[in-house]
Amino acid sequence: MIGYEPNNDELMAMDLDIVEEKRIRAAIQMVAYQKRMARAYNKSVCPWSFKMRDLLMRKIQFQGETEKLDPKYERPYKVIRKAGIATYYLDDAEGKKAKRPWNIQYLKRYYP
């Protein structure tokens, strides 16, 4: 028979032993790669946090169509309390409190 080797069973048994080692090595390499990627990503991420009485602008969330030159953020608001990890309750210039907390992704620091 062409391509038949009498010690093929021994070679296949050796390959099966090596397969587990290759899987472990691949898993270790994948974890190392993920750590490198996380480190590279975290270098460029700047965590935001605001203090009480900081002035912020809130992103406008229109219900209808917007034009190119329409404002993107509303008047300054003041932080009155922190609601969670990245959410804040706001107070406007007239002292009117917001009904719900706002996530940090919709807020931007206001510089008068």
Query: Residues in the chain with pLDDT < 50?
Result: 1
pLDDT of the residue at 1: 47
- Every domain of the chain and the residues it spans: 1-45, 55-109
Q: What residues does 58 pair with on adjacent strands?
A: 107
The closest of 85, 80, 87, 83 to 103, measured between CA atoms, is 87
Name the residue with tokens 């404002």.
Answer: 71
pTM, full prediction? 0.56
Whole-number percent of the chain with pLDDT over 70 = 94
pLDDT of the residue at 4: 61
**DSSP per-residue codes, 20-73:** HHHHHHHHHHHHHHHHHHHHHHHHH-------TT-EEEEE---SS---TTS-SE
Burial of 75 (0-12, 13-18, 19+ CB in 10 A): exposed
Q: Does domain 55-109 have CATH number 3.40.50.10420?
A: no
pLDDT of the residue at 94: 82
Instruction: Kindly report, residue by residue over 51-71, the tens digit of the pLDDT.
Output: 888 888 888 887 678 788 888
